[in-house]
């Protein structure tokens, strides 16, 4: 291309901007459509307008007036948070050991955890269903938390051990020389440096638990432990002739909000390159 | 402050490899001692064992008279400066330096005061609130030193603390490390692979090779009286010249001509059971342009004529490089030194010679020059064992 460098860059910038906008619109359009639906009244629901003619909060009011949805929301938040917390704590310890120690069977352990992560979950549903029923875990919080941890842990270990490997080992030696016990060295030096990794992992695990539908629909039967994605699928209107689209749209918007909040909250803590300056560089 | 004693300290890894073997060193209180040697010689392992970061397989380590083999690093009361500095990136300079004191549960006022004092000594006062990532290499190095000195430990251990700095800063920091050590009077063990640092910094130098101590002594003593080929070749820059020679009827036959044995050399050799084939070692500064040597001195040395390959004028004196025909000196120890210096692959048949001659010399590159050397300064080595046949402690 002939032309001055500056003009060329402006041209490229413009092209990229257009391209990016196209991608974002393509990705967000269904989301915006759902948002739009959730604000439409029953009469205008199927009118095909992107911007609602009549704005209404009826759909939101409706879903929050039923115990079905509120209870599911509580279940979802509780189960996802507990599973995330446990997976991250265990994942941190396991990943630290994998990154730092050389113990017999380490490769085997890593291999097995990878295997679990890749295992098709659908093939486990029937056995899990039987096991949980006989153990009395069926339709309880632990009944969902346990499988979530099982499948989230390999993910957590993988992400975290990559972060731990980035932390120079000399920092730990330095802490020991400075008079720290192994526990103090981990808490005051290693953990703060691994924090971005821990938060990243927490986000990933939380999203995994939050979005799960397969386990939730198979291992629950009542409001006792039913999570939002499942509750959504059971939504009906007040009568079988009523269209629940508005309520489903509103519920879909509501369950997206915690994910966005979660990411925004933790993203601020993920400061890239936190370890720069530790060693020569 | 305390003395450190290594008594037959050995490190053997589970796979059987011996990293350090039977190291005996007595480090006096307040002494600045340097462990020097090529990479893989066990100097860092030795330091890590003193620190407590590596277990001692056998032998005993005593700090201040107490056996500390089984003590964790934190209970040994010694501070370490790492090659990479190992500063805590999430803490400011002040927090970095205060960290050892905080762990020791020192009260706030004392911490504040000690950090201020250390910062003053190291000229870091205006950087106290910055993070390590915003500091230059030299500043980070000083913070690492600061973290070591704040809690006035029994000893400092330094693992190549200057090797990440550029050449000019390294020379500067070398002087300040030396000054700091004198000022604080704390026992210091300093590991380096740089013989210049070893020569300039230490009260005593420990030369290591393959996990074993080769020689311990004051820098000048090691320079003048190396115990073996390895020490002779390692200490000194440019390093000693080695020329193979045959010992016949009190005369050394070599590529530099026939060198008569002086009374001193003859006396030392008498008790040494010398083989017929030896390696002759000559320091570059023991050569001189023959024209500048006074007539009455000439008899005490040997003169040879050769083509000057390269001439480097340093202002104060000149380095003249020669390559002589004849066999190169070969020995296990010299091969190791060459490998460490990275010169093993440099092609060059024959004997290469580095000489340091007076700046007044008129020798020119590419032309013949007549060079004299002092026969009394000759050191002779056994090519098989590397032992210095002319070793003396005077």
Interface ipTM: 0.81
- Pairwise CB contact (< 8 Å): B86 & A192: no
Is residue B240 within 8 A of residue B282, CB to CB? The reply is: yes
Q: How far is CA A113 from the centre of its chain?
A: 19
Question: Could you give the percent of chain B with pLDDT greater than 70?
Answer: 97
Q: What is the DSSP string of B135-175?
A: S-HHHHHHHHHHHHHTT--SEEEEESTTTTS-HHHHHHHHH
Q: What is the per-residue pLDDT for A82?
A: 96
Is residue B297 within 8 A of residue B375, CB to CB? The reply is: no
As a residue count, chain A comes to 281
- Pairwise CB contact (< 8 Å): A280 & B73: no
Q: What angle do CA A61, A63, A69 make, to 5 degrees?
A: 145
| Cβ-nearest to B84 among A176, A180, A280 | A280
- Pairwise CB contact (< 8 Å): A177 & B53: yes
As a residue count, chain B comes to 394
Written in H, E and C, the secondary structure of chain A is CCCCHHHHHHHHHHHHHHHHHHHHHHHHHHHHHHHHHHCECCCCCCCCCCCCCCECCHHHHHHHHCHHHHHHHHHHHHHHHHHHHHHHHHHHHHHHHHHHCCCCCHHHHHHHHHHHHHCCHHHHHHHHHHHHHHHCCCCCHHHHHHHHHHHHHHHHHHHHHHHHHHCCHHHHHHHHHCCCCHHHHHHHHHHHHHHHHHHHHHHHHHHHHHHCCHHHHHCCCCCCCCCHHHHHHCCCCCCCCCCCHHHHHHHHHHHHHHHHHHHHHHHCCCCCCCCCCCCCC
| Cβ-nearest to B86 among A168, A179, A180 | A168
Is residue B225 within 8 A of residue B391, CB to CB? The reply is: yes
In 3D, which of A177, A171, A182, A170 has the Cα closest to residue B155? A177
Contacting residues of A for B89, CB less than 8 Å apart:
193, 274-278
Give the SS3 label for residue B219.
Answer: helix
Q: What is the per-residue pLDDT for A174?
A: 93
CA distance A110 to B239: 51
Is residue A226 within 8 A of residue A72, CB to CB? The reply is: yes
Longest Cα–Cα distance of chain B, Å, equals 77
Closest chain B C-alpha to A105 CA, distance in angstroms: 17
Contacting residues of A for B134, CB less than 8 Å apart:
277
Low-confidence ranges of chain A (pLDDT < 50): 1-5, 271-277, 280-281
- Pairwise CB contact (< 8 Å): A178 & B147: yes
- Pairwise CB contact (< 8 Å): A176 & B87: no
CA distance B307 to B81: 48
Contacting residues of A for B84, CB less than 8 Å apart:
168, 170, 278-280
- Pairwise CB contact (< 8 Å): B85 & A279: yes
Report the mean per-residue pLDDT for chain B. Answer: 90
Q: What is the per-residue pLDDT for B298?
A: 84
Closest chain B C-alpha to A198 CA, distance in angstroms: 16
- Pairwise CB contact (< 8 Å): A279 & B84: yes
Question: Above 80 in pLDDT, residue B345?
Answer: no
Give the SS3 label for residue B376.
Answer: helix
Q: Does A270 touch chain B (CB under 8 A)?
A: no
CA distance B70 to B11: 14
What is the pLDDT averaged over residues B163-185?
90
The string of pLDDT tens digits covering residues A30-78 is 989 999 988 988 888 778 788 888 888 888 888 888 888 899 999 999 9
Q: What angle do CA B249, B254, B255 make, to 5 degrees?
A: 160
CA distance B341 to B34: 19
CA distance A143 to A138: 6
Question: Above 50 in pLDDT, residue B122?
Answer: yes
Q: Does A191 touch chain B (CB under 8 A)?
A: no
Is residue B25 within 8 A of residue B195, CB to CB? The reply is: no
Q: What is the per-residue pLDDT for A273?
A: 40
Residue pointed to by tokens 């359009």: A29
In 3D, which of B232, B231, B238 has the Cα closest to residue B357? B238
| Cβ-nearest to B100 among A178, A274, A275 | A178
Contacting residues of B for A278, CB less than 8 Å apart:
84-89, 132
Burial grade of B133 (CB within 10 A; 0-12, 13-18, 19 or more):
middle
Query: Nearest chain B Cα to A175, which residue?
Result: B100
Q: Does A279 touch chain B (CB under 8 A)?
A: yes
Suggest the residue from A102, A171, A179, A279 to mutate for an interface test with chain B (most B CBs closer than 10 A): A179
- With a CB cutoff of 8 Å and minimum separation 6, the contacts of B247 are B274, B275, B276, B277, B278, B380
Closest chain B C-alpha to A87 CA, distance in angstroms: 25
- Pairwise CB contact (< 8 Å): A277 & B140: yes
In 3D, which of B260, B225, B235 has the Cα closest to residue B379? B225
Q: What is the per-residue pLDDT for A45?
A: 79
Closest chain A C-alpha to B73 CA, distance in angstroms: 5
Q: Does A176 touch chain B (CB under 8 A)?
A: yes
| Cβ-nearest to B80 among A177, A181, A189 | A177
Q: What is the per-residue pLDDT for B140?
A: 93
Suggest the residue from A166, A269, A277 to mutate for an interface test with chain B (most B CBs closer than 10 A): A277
Which of A111-125, B33-47, B112-126, B346-360 comes out lowest in average pLDDT? B346-360
Q: Does A179 touch chain B (CB under 8 A)?
A: yes
What is the pLDDT averaged over residues B125-145?
92
Under the banding of pLDDT at 50, 70 and 90, the label for residue B285 is very high
Closest chain A C-alpha to B196 CA, distance in angstroms: 22
B80 or A247: which leads in pLDDT:
B80
- Pairwise CB contact (< 8 Å): B104 & A180: no
CA distance B105 to A264: 37
Run of H or E including B189: strand B187-192
CA distance B5 to A145: 57
Q: What is the DSSP string of B31-84?
A: -EEEEE-STTSSHHHHHHHHHTSS--SEEEEEETTEE-TTS-GGGTTEEEE-TT
| Cβ-nearest to A173 among B86, B99, B131 | B86
Whole-model pTM: value is: 0.79
């Amino acid at each position: 291309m002939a032309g001055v460098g500056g003009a060329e860059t402006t041209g490229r910038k413009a092209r990229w901007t257009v391209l990016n906008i196209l991608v974002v619109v393509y990705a967000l359009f269904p989301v915006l459509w759902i948002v739009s639906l959730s604000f439409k009244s029953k009469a205008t629901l199927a009118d095909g307008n992107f911007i609602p003619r009549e704005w209404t909060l009826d759909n939101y009011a409706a879903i929050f007036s039923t115990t079905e949805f509120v209870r599911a929301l509580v279940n979802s938040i509780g189960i996802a948070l507990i599973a995330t917390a446990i997976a991250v704590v265990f994942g941190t310890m396991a990943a630290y050991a994998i990154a730092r120690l050389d113990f017999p069977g380490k490769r085997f352990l890593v291999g097995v955890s990878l295997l679990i992560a890749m295992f098709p979950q659908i093939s486990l549903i029937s056995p899990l269903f039987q096991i949980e029923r006989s153990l009395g875990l069926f339709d309880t919080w632990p009944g969902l938390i346990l499988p979530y941890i099982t499948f989230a842990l390999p993910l957590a270990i993988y992400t975290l051990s990559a972060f731990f490997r980035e932390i120079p080992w000399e920092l730990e030696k330095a802490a020991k020389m400075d008079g720290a016990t192994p526990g103090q060295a981990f808490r005051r030096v290693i953990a703060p440096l691994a924090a971005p990794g821990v938060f990243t992992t927490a986000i990933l695990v939380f999203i995994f638990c939050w979005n799960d539908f397969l386990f939730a629909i198979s291992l629950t039967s009542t409001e006792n432990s039913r999570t939002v994605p499942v509750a959504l699928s059971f939504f009906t209107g007040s009568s079988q002739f009523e269209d629940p689209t508005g309520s489903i749209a509103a519920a879909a918007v509501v369950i997206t909000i915690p994910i966005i909040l979660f990411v925004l909250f933790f993203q601020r803590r993920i400061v890239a390159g936190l370890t720069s300056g530790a060693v020569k560089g | 402050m305390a003395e450190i004693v290594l008594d037959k300290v050995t490190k053997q890894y589970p796979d059987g490899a011996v990293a350090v073997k039977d190291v005996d060193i007595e480090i006096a209180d307040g002494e600045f001692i340097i462990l020097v040697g090529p990479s893989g010689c066990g100097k860092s392992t030795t330091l890590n064992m003193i620190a407590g970061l590596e277990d001692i397989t056998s032998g005993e380590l005593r700090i201040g008279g107490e056996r500390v083999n089984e003590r964790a690093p934190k209970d040994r009361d010694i501070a370490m400066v790492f090659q990479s500095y190992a500063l805590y990136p999430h803490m400011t300079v002040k927090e970095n330096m205060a960290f050892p004191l905080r762990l020791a549960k020192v009260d706030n006022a004392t911490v504040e005061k000690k950090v201020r004092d250390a910062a003053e000594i190291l000229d870091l006062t205006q950087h106290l609130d910055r993070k390590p990532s915003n500091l230059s290499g030299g500043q980070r190095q000083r913070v690492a030193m600061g973290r070591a000195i704040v809690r006035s430990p029994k000893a400092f251990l330094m693992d190549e603390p200057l090797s990440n700095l550029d050449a000019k800063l390294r020379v500067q920091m070398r002087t300040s490390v030396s000054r700091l050590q004198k000022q604080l009077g704390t026992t210091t063990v300093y590991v380096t692979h740089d013989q210049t640092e070893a020569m300039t910094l230490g009260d005593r130098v420990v030369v290591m090779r393959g996990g074993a101590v080769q020689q311990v002594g004051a820098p000048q003593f090691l320079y003048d009286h190396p115990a073996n080929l390895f020490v002779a070749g390692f200490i000194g820059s440019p390093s000693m010249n080695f020329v193979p020679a045959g010992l016949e009827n009190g005369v050394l036959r070599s590529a530099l001509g026939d060198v008569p044995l002086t009374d001193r050399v003859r006396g030392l050799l008498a008790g040494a059971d010398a083989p017929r084939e030896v390696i002759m070692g000559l320091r570059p500064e023991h050569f001189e342009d023959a024209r500048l040597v006074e007539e009455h001195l000439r008899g005490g040395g040997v003169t040879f004529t050769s083509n000057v390959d390269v001439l480097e004028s340093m202002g104060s004196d000149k380095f003249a490089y020669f390559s002589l025909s004849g066999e190169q000196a070969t020995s296990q120890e010299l091969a190791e030194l060459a490998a460490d210096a990275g010169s093993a692959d440099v092609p060059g048949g024959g004997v290469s010679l580095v000489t340091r001659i007076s700046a007044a010399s008129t020798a020119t590159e590419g032309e013949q020059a007549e060079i004299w050397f002092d026969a009394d300064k000759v050191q002779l080595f056994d090519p098989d064992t590397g032992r210095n046949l002319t070793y003396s402690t005077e």
